[in-house]
Chain A
Amino acid sequence: NAGVTQTPKFRVLKTGQSMTLLCAQDMNHEYMYWYRQDPGMGLRLIHYSVGEGTTAKGEVPDGYNVSRLKKQNFLLGLESAAPSQTSVYFCASSRSGRVGELFFGEGSRLTVL
């Protein structure tokens, strides 16, 4: 049982490049989330999804897009990467969306030069 898997784990981009982070969960969870974690700041919610085909904005959505075409996958896209998007990105999933039920992936470390 893999849980929540994120790919890639590490990536270096140049300013202006685009990329997609993939999150896959094998727990049949309805809810999925993308967070970013920066030094000196708490985890901040970027976007989330309450089910297949749905997406919603979180606290810091600017510069990111997401898609949830399949229930088990949640993609986070950066269309034109900026140095301010250098961060560690965490995907999480939840069966029912209740606090205290979040299962996190191991993170994707992104550096934008």
Chain B
Amino acid sequence: QKEVEQDPGPLSVPEGAIVSLNCTYSNSAFQYFMWYRQYSRKGPELLMYTYSSGNKEDGRFTAQVDKSSKYISLFIRDSQPSDSATYLCAMSASSYSGGGADGLTFGKGTHLIIQP
């Protein structure tokens, strides 16, 4: 199974709010987890990369992985209008990004709107 579930939104929040974005998955073999940000008409860019369970923080962004619940989250603190974008989660059972069962599986993306 490679299914990853992600609410497409849109999720609209006021500037300064804490944003929580989530993905659930069914494949217990996934152990590499990523969040990509995609602005309109642009390509995805890597935002956060975590291995296995736990938290990782980078500035206003925190990625959280709960493997027991098969659930990952991205938190954005002090959200800004420039954070308005589509956020894609991605995960893999392998550190290798090739094809086949070990390849990357992407969520559908959540469209986030930060209201000024």
Verify that A and B bind, or say they do not: yes
C-alpha gap A106/B38 in the complex (Å): 10
Q: Is B77 an interface residue (CB 8 A)?
A: no
Binding site for B on A (CB under 8 A): 4, 31, 33, 40-45, 48, 50, 56-59, 90, 92, 94, 97-102, 104-107
**Most chain-B CB neighbours within 10 Å: which of A50, A57, A104, A105?**
A104
C-alpha gap A98/B104 in the complex (Å): 10
Q: What's the nearest-Cβ distance from chain B to residue A75, in Å?
A: 18
Q: Is B61 an interface residue (CB 8 A)?
A: no
List, in ascending order, chain A residues with CB within 8 A of B92's CB. 99
Q: What's the nearest-Cβ distance from chain B to residue A63, in Å?
A: 16
Interface size counted on chain B using CB atoms at 8 A:
28
Q: Is B16 an interface residue (CB 8 A)?
A: no
Report which of A42, A100, A104 forms a contact with B108, defined as CB distance below 8 A.
A42
Q: Would you call the interface of chain B mostly helix, strand, loop, or mixed?
A: loop
Given known contacts A56-B98, A59-B99, is B109 in contact with A42 (CB within 8 Å)? yes
List 17 other contacts, CB 8 Å, given A98-B96, A107-B43: A33-B97, A42-B105, A42-B106, A42-B107, A42-B108, A43-B44, A43-B104, A50-B98, A59-B103, A99-B97, A99-B104, A100-B32, A100-B49, A101-B97, A102-B44, A102-B46, A105-B43
Binding site for A on B (CB under 8 A): 4, 6, 8, 32, 34, 41-46, 49, 88, 90, 92, 94-99, 103-109
Given known contacts A40-B8, A99-B92, is B104 in contact with A45 (CB within 8 Å)? yes
